[in-house]
Amino acid sequence: MHFPVKKFFSYYKPYLLLFILILSCAFLVSALTLVFPLLVRYITKDVLEGNLSVALKEVYKIGGLMLVLVAIQNIGNYFVDYKGHEIGARMESDMRSELFAHMQKLSFSFFDKEKTGQLMSRITNDLLLLSELYHHGPEDYMKYFVRFTGAFVILFSINAPLTIAVFCFLPVLAVFSFYFNKMLNKALRRNKERIGDVNVQVEDSLSGIRVVKSFANEQLEIEKFNRENNRFLDSRKKTYKAEALFYNSFESIIQMITITVVVFGSANIVNQTLDLADLLTFLLYIGFMLEPVQRLTHMSMQLQEGLTGFQRFMEIMNLKPAIENKPDALTLSKVQGEIEFKQVSFRYEDHLVHVLSDLSFRIQPGEYVALVGPSGAGKTTLCSLIPRFYDVTAGGVLLDGIDVRHIELHSLRQSIGIVQQDVYLFAGTVMDNIRYGNPKATEEEVMTAAKHANAHHFIASLPNGYNSEIGQRGVKLSGGQKQRLSIARVFLKNPPVLILDEATSALDNESESMIKESLESLAKGRTTIVIAHRLSTIRNAGRIIVLTEDGIAEQGTHDGLLAEDGVYARLYAKQVGG
């Protein structure tokens, strides 16, 4: 995959001045570090070998200078460390917001394939590692480049042959670095995928904790979790093996360099081409020259972790939503609610069979239409095409005579209210959840919507009324209560088109009759499509469309279809047992 260098560096742009200041500070601190061995050399070679009567005064002066340098260094390091980390955290926050916003734009087809735990891993772990690279990367490379170059120049001026002898080891280190970097990159990418799998397992088990406990399958979930956890552990072990090989190979070579300096340096002292003060200085600078090489393990790991994190970030950012606005998309002002399917065919993916084939029908504004048929006939799929959760494979879906693909998405979906069988409520209060239908609604409007949905009475009986916390996914409420909140949400949205997807099939009789009343109230004056599971609930529908795998088998009123004695009559007889 081509690495987007320009995009990678673009995240520095809002903080460029502060970033340049941090790099300048890192440069200054590193340069000051190089001064210390020179001051030690000056004391041991010039001061202590000169006039000892004035030597102490000179040593105190140099000591004072060293204290000033230490103070400057520590202030500089504090600034680099604090502000550098802050920049990294800000960039991470910017990218996390951008990634989450982009995920919100992606279509259902993307979420159909992706696991939530893996996506969570990309938003959290990957960007955390990337922020470390954004902060430490340039700063470390600047710091170690200055130290390495400065140390090399100074060492070369002290003793060129010995410096060149040391330098000969560096290509070997570079080859080691290149080889192990590739190994580490592969291992780190595997780590990221495995921790994503652990997240998936945790999210799956904890989301379904009530099912787990109802089947007494805690041990099964623990085994499933341990299986993913052990796979992650195995990939970590392989990473640490590569790391240990890398680190110890480096250490061996660095020790060889130190031995070379001691042996050849001592030989030069014997041959009187080097003095002891210079050898001491040489050993101090060797540390500066080798420190970047020693840190190469950490730096390359940081680089690989950061870059793989950025590549995984870009994998999502480069995905184009399957459903997007056309450049000349129309914004709907007033929707009448006429819906027409014109020779619509649809399949979820190219290699799959068609769910709908050459389907045509029209629903008049304000008409109440029920869709019935065996499971798998495509009733829910058909309804998903109206708000453009998916796009048709062929043909067209029209709202008020306009193809939905030419309508601005927000405007289209604002015109359609959906009440589903599986109600999703967000963690928060009752008020928050109803207001989701219209975030700008007043408290009075929320209460009016709740009253229309027959929900006000039970909400008032909750400990804190409309400000009661309902728990994640509304676990503190019954099925009927959750359904009434979802209906109140749609009342508040007040859309001209309504889709009811088996909204009462999971409820008991008492809740069902109450919900049915709420839904009938909601449907008044709106174009309504009901996907019906219980045929007894749609006797009063203006028109019933019977959908089978072969398309529309028949349509008409309840009584008319019973008289025809066709598919609908057989389905109805099966349900009522006669």
Contact 529, 363 (CB under 8 A): yes
Answer yes or no: do 165 and 265 share one domain: yes
Answer yes or no: do 313 and 357 share one domain: no
Answer yes or no: do 238 and 362 share one domain: no
pLDDT of residue 505: 55
DSSP state for residue 44 in the 8-state scheme: I
Contact 377, 547 (CB under 8 A): yes
| Inside any domain, residue 540 | yes
Residue numbers of the domain that contains 336: 326-415+499-505+529-578
Burial of 89 (0-12, 13-18, 19+ CB in 10 A): middle
| Inside any domain, residue 492 | no
Secondary structure string (H, E, C) spanning 264-309? HHHHHHHCCCCCHHHHHHHHHHHHHHHHHHHCHHHHHHHHHHHHHH
Query: 431 CB contacts (<8 Å, ≥6 apart)?
Result: 443, 446, 466, 467
Answer yes or no: do 243 and 351 share one domain: no
What pTM, to 2 d.p., does this model score?
0.72
Burial of 10 (0-12, 13-18, 19+ CB in 10 A): exposed
DSSP, collapsed to helix, strand or coil, labels residue 434 as: helix
Q: What is the pLDDT of residues 177-218, one digit of tens each?
A: 777 777 777 887 788 788 888 888 888 888 788 788 877 888
DSSP, collapsed to helix, strand or coil, labels residue 416 as: strand
We report the CATH number of the domain holding residue 551 as 3.40.50.300
Answer yes or no: do 273 and 388 share one domain: no
| Inside any domain, residue 292 | yes
pLDDT of residue 223: 92
Query: 307 CB contacts (<8 Å, ≥6 apart)?
Result: 3, 133, 185
| Inside any domain, residue 37 | yes
Residue where a domain stops, chosen among 285, 317, 349: 317
Burial of 576 (0-12, 13-18, 19+ CB in 10 A): exposed
pLDDT of residue 95: 92
We report the CATH number of the domain holding residue 259 as 1.20.1560.10
Pairing outcome for strands 543-548 and 368-372:
parallel
Cα 198 to chain centroid, rounded:
15
Contact 361, 545 (CB under 8 A): yes
Low-confidence ranges of the chain (pLDDT < 70): 1-2, 50, 294, 296-297, 472-473, 503-512, 577-578
Instruction: Count up the domains in the chain and report the number.
Output: 2
Contact 301, 243 (CB under 8 A): yes
Answer yes or no: do 241 and 374 share one domain: no
Distances (CA, A) of 186 to 4, 143, 308: 19, 28, 9
Answer yes or no: do 116 and 35 share one domain: yes
Of the CA atoms within 13 Å of residue 242, those in its CB half-sphere come to 22
Q: What is the pLDDT of residues 484-507, one digit of tens each?
A: 888 888 888 888 998 888 766 555
Answer yes or no: do 358 and 251 share one domain: no
Contact 525, 366 (CB under 8 A): yes
Answer yes or no: do 408 and 556 share one domain: yes
Residue where a domain stops, chosen among 317, 334, 351: 317
Burial of 348 (0-12, 13-18, 19+ CB in 10 A): middle
pLDDT of residue 285: 83
Task: State the Cα–Cα distance between residues 272 and 577, nearest whole angstrom.
Answer: 112
Task: State the Cα–Cα distance between residues 223 and 210, nearest whole angstrom.
Answer: 18
Task: State the Cα–Cα distance between residues 498 and 494, nearest whole angstrom.
Answer: 9
